[in-house]
Structure 1
Amino acid sequence: MNRLTKYVNDLTLRLYVRLQIFAAQEPVRLRAALVSAVLAAGLLIPALADADVAQIIGAVGAVVLPILAGESTRSRVTPVDGE
């Protein structure tokens, strides 16, 4: 049982790190994937089928993801001053 728990924890940590890397490198793709997932969930979960709920979740994702991606993403695409 201990090996299984250790394996699940290791797998969870690896997925989390990959998601962080993906969010930093591809914030636009991640936003699109999250909005698509919310809209797909709207087909399966009736409470999400309401357009207002999907719109709110999509808007929060569009605002929060650039903040989570952080300054490192912005610094890679911002021109350097002083040239």
Structure 2
Amino acid sequence: MFKRIRTYLHDLYLRAVVHLQIFAAQEPVRLRAALTSLAIGLAVIFPAIDAGTAETIGAVGVVALPLLVGESARQKVTPTK
């Protein structure tokens, strides 16, 4: 029974990762905004995270996400000539 539960949770985890990758590829701007909002929200909940740290987390997300998602996401948000 525990093996079945563990397999189900692993399957659920893999599905979530795939959905997140698809969302990141299709909507990189919305994902960056969500990550920045999450970091700022955590700064409100946990006062030990000051605004500078939340801003740094958002900036790292803005820089790292296009690198992680790849060239196809950049082409979707870059205006064509």
Q: TM range, normalised to the smaller chain?
A: 0.7 to 0.9
Distance 1:27 1:8 in 2: 27
Q: How does 1:62-73 map to 2 (within 5 A)?
A: 62-73=62-73
TM-score relative to the length of structure 2: 0.87
What's 2:21 paired with?
20
Q: Are 2:34 and 1:33 equivalent residues in the alignment?
A: yes
User: 1:52-71 alignment to 2 at 5 Å?
Assistant: 52-71=52-71
Change (3 A) 1:5 1:39: same
Q: Which consecutive unaligned segments of at least 5 residues does structure 1 have?
A: none
- State TM-score, norm by structure 1: 0.85
Instruction: State the partner residue of 1:44.
Output: 45
Q: CA RMSD in A?
A: 1.8
Which protein is bigger by CA-based radius of gyration?
A: 1
User: Offset of 1:57 from its aligned partner?
Assistant: 0.4
**1:11 aligns to what?**
12
Aligned pairs, number: 79
Identical aligned pairs, as a percentage?
54
Q: Which amino acid aligns with 1:70?
A: G
1:7-30 Cα shifts (integer Å, max 9, x gaps): 000000000000000000000000
Give the Cα–Cα distance (whole angstroms) in 2 for the partners of residues 39 and 75 of structure 1. Answer: 28
